[in-house]
Structure 1
Amino acid sequence: MSVTAVTSRVAEIQGVLSQLGAPRAPGSALAAGSFRTAMDGALATALAPAGAPAAAASPGGARVVAEAEKYLGVPYVWGGTDPANGLDCSGLVQLVYRNLGIDLPRVSRDQAQAGRPVASLAEAQPGDLLAFNSPVSHIAIYVGDGKMIEAPRPGLSVRVTEVSGDLTAIRRVLPESAPTVSGRASAPVSAVPYADLFNRAAATYGVDAGLLAAIAKQESGYRPDAVSPVGAQGLMQLMPATARGLGVSDSFDPAQAVDGAARLVRDLLDRFGRTDLALAAYNAGPGAVLRYGGIPPYPETQNYVRSVLATVGGTP
């Protein structure tokens, strides 16, 4: 880790030390031995080498908040990055975004430089990062309505609380808007099988409902029992490993299949920024798109992309 990052970590330590003198509810004081253990862990973390960055994929703000809410009640531990043992403020933020495919720096001061600035709390959106103090020594995730999720300080747990304190920066890591087919807003579909499932998934994940329906038509001909020669299953033809990664327990269940496929398409659109590349990745895998720097030169994939776009009436 660089000297700058270590200095940032020391600033965080100083910030938390300054908070330890603040009044706390009875019974919330941290034992001296526990604090020493947490401090030792923080120093070890600060001096540890940084890992390789992960590939970025941008979820929606609601998904960021939902992911963060999984850790409500996890105790604060200085230097904590494992929810089984405890989390500190920047450990919580880094973990939440990493789980959604976005790599952020380890310490709050560096996290407060990620993404784009937001002018005021009135313009903040769920999923934005809220940084506190100067230099920054605390960070939280905005959930909307003037509230945030934070790992506050020793003796307390991850919680939802009102935004308060010396708010010095608001950063937006997520994209301003989600890409759609031909740049148009998603319109509901009606004259196709499972239209209600496509419309529901489109509203949830910001994916064009017509695009989801076109994928289902191309993949399975709207057959929920379809199985391909290579083992892809169900209405949306999810491979078993892909389905497991999406949390789909039964690819033959149309509701699960459409929901999982919509999340996959959303991530691919965010990753590649173009509908044709997202479709190519759905068919051939993201690795193939990255390897060839575009739609792979596979006749099947090229025909697949053309056919789906022709069905939905869209362009990249």
Structure 2
Amino acid sequence: MSVAAVTSRVAEIQGVLAQLGAGRATGSSGAAFRTSLDGALAATATATAATSGAAAGSSPGGARVVAEAEKYLGVPYVWGGTDPDSGLDCSGLVQLVYRNLGIDLPRVSRDQAQAGRPVASLAEAQPGDLLAFNSPVSHIAIYAGDGMMIEAPRPGLAVRLTAVDGDLTAIRRVLPESAPGVAGRASTQVSSVPYADLFNRAAATYGVDATLLSAIARQESGYRPGAVSPAGAQGLMQLMPATARGLGVTDSFDPAQAVDGAARLVRDLLDRFGRTDLALAAYNAGPGAVLRYDGIPPYPETQNYVRSVLAMVGGDL
């Protein structure tokens, strides 16, 4: 092991010892935990076309990073741990998640905090970015979006989803600036529907079939840009306020912003789940629900939603 690596591990030990007394705010539990997790998963759609999840065999996007990290929730913290069967430390978790997605990172947190490109502030962070803490760096986590992170915190705790806190000293983006195979995919266009130009433009940009986007708008709002649901979803594409914020949509009632944001969300869900029906289920019920049930959730509303949208597009996407 190099001198730099030994020094970094010593710094990690010091950070752990310092945290034993002070501790971090614990993550949510029960229903509150599930709500936070669903919110974080929805917020992974923050990534734009340049950093959105790519299809299998191409570069991963933020949604895939967060989904991969989520697999290890509950794994106990073990200093020096790199095996999820026995335990993980903070840098072991980060290295494992990215290695599973085909990206090699250094072993220790201080070196991981030098990987990729710097991000100026948490306000500009995207899901999948690395969050480094303390100086010298002794802790690292994966940003999940919406002010949340996934971390292996310290002895006695397990890998968890929790609010970003602590002495945040660096944010690094290791995902590529442009993921292959996002823009320029062939997609059917629409002509005789409201906002056809917006659907066609988004289809050309993000590779989401325009007929699918149009069908979602019809099902969600009946093409009404001022629609508001009883649950608080807004606009043409019925984006929830938290989801809209995660997508960078400042006005869900603006059809151009709504369609662009929804197209990025649908692209991300298609890349993540690999099937149109599952992507639609996630759009309606949230990615967490699809993960929990390993398929379309047994909610009548969601099942009817998926059937209805697929019927509009012919069911063959």
Kindly indicate whether structure 1 or structure 2 has the higher relative contact order, using CA contacts under 8 Å at least 6 residues apart.
Answer: 2
Higher-Rg member (1/2): 1
Query: TM-score, normalised to structure 1's length?
Result: 0.49
TM-score (normalised: structure 2): 0.49
